[in-house]
Structure 1
Amino acid sequence: MKPPFEQVVEIHGATVLRVCRAVLGPRPESEDAWSETFLAALRAYPGLPPDANVQAWLVTIAHRKALDAVRAAGRRAVPVADVPERHSTIGIVRDRDDALWRALAALPERQRLTVAYHHVAGLPFREVAEILGGTPEAARRASSDGIRALRSALGGARPASTVPAPPTAKGTP
């Protein structure tokens, strides 16, 4: 029996937000993608099979909504009267977080998304490969290359991220 949708949001909401932020960065667009993910999921939830992996399903929806936001931003011109003289720090919590987000954003797209889906959302490489296309081995390699690049960019240290470890559920592969 499927849990009520409110419980699905409570259980998986943080994971979906972390995925949206990993793809879009710590900007308001990531929260918009989170909202759009759950609106789309709410419409489709009644038809979801009871044995479906809800987390993987939600991460797939979040992935698509985040990519939609990236594409929409690329089509939208933002007029400004004057060019700002300094970089905006809106949404940046700390310098360490800023460095982590910059390093993550600098990764090639496949590495960035694989790191986000596997290390942030906690999906196994098999499911990451299904979302992005390709094989689990290719996803594992992209993740490894991405983590190596992040360590290099952050001075070789393992970053103490503000992102909590993903929850583990019984019976999850």
Structure 2
Amino acid sequence: MAAVNSPGHPGTALGRPAPGEALMAVPPFEALVAAHGSTVLRVCRALVGPVDADDLWQETFLAALRVYPGTVPVKNWQAWLVAIARNKCVDHHRRAAGVPQPTGQVAQEPPAGPDGVGRALEAAETARRLWAALARLPKMQREAVVYHHIAGLRYAEAAALLGNSEVAARRAAADGMKALRLLLAREEEH
């Protein structure tokens, strides 16, 4: 087994196995949370939006903890956690399908000036636009973009989560990125 360099990097006990490397030793659960927590949160935000992402992040790690360390041998802890997060997000969408959603939005004016609060509001608005554009992508493209570009999974790992081939996952991610750029460009024109 390769030496542990840093959490979440290829060839470490917390990231992907190095080429030709066998299964990893089971790391402490808190080390998995530290190494992959931000990736799981990004996946949750991309699949359900920023409002419910924190709750689903918690549900993901609670579900992982329930079966940890007695899980089947895991080659890639990050992919394992992203798969759990994906399933939690799917469950969330199923539960929310019958719940009416509010239609109106409260307008908020950012304060004038280059202060920290103003910059934070501008960054939040940019993030809101990005997440909204991501939500408008077709499901396959959105999930391919999330798994590869946001979670950092290899195309083969994304393909396994998507239930298709590596080539199809690569195509869906490329088409998704192209559509995302177009959606954001159109929004800036208005």
Q: Please state whether the residue corresponding to 1:47 is helix, strand or coil.
A: coil
Q: Deviations over 1:67-99 (max 9, x none)?
A: 111111112346x8xx74x3477xx85322222
TM-score by length of 2: 0.72
2:126 to 79, 83, 96: 96
Identity, % of aligned pairs? 50
Query: Where in structure 2 are there 5+ consecutive unaligned residues?
Result: 1-24, 109-120
When structure 1 is superposed on structure 2, of 6-15 and 41-50 the one drifting more is 41-50
2:159 to 102, 108, 129: 129
CA distance in 1 between counterparts of 2:74 and 2:36 reads 16
What is the match of residue 90 of structure 2? 67
What is the match of residue 99 of structure 2? 76
CA distance in 2 between counterparts of 1:51 and 1:19 reads 20
TM-score by length of 1: 0.79
CA distance in 2 between counterparts of 1:12 and 1:48 reads 17
Classify 1:51/1:41 alpha carbon distance in 2 versus 1 (closer, same or farther; 3 Å): closer
Larger RCO of the pair (alpha carbons < 8 Å, separation 6+) = 1
What is the match of residue 144 of structure 1? 174
**Residue pairs, 1:15-26, within 5 angstroms:** 15-26=39-50
One-letter amino acid matched to 2:170: R
Q: Deviations over 1:74-127 (max 9, x none)?
A: 12346x8xx74x3477xx853222221111011001100110010000001111
Alpha carbon RMSD of aligned pairs, Å? 2.1
CA displacement at 1:62 relative to structure 2: 0.2
Query: Where in structure 1 are there 5+ consecutive unaligned residues?
Result: 157-173
CA displacement at 1:11 relative to structure 2: 0.7
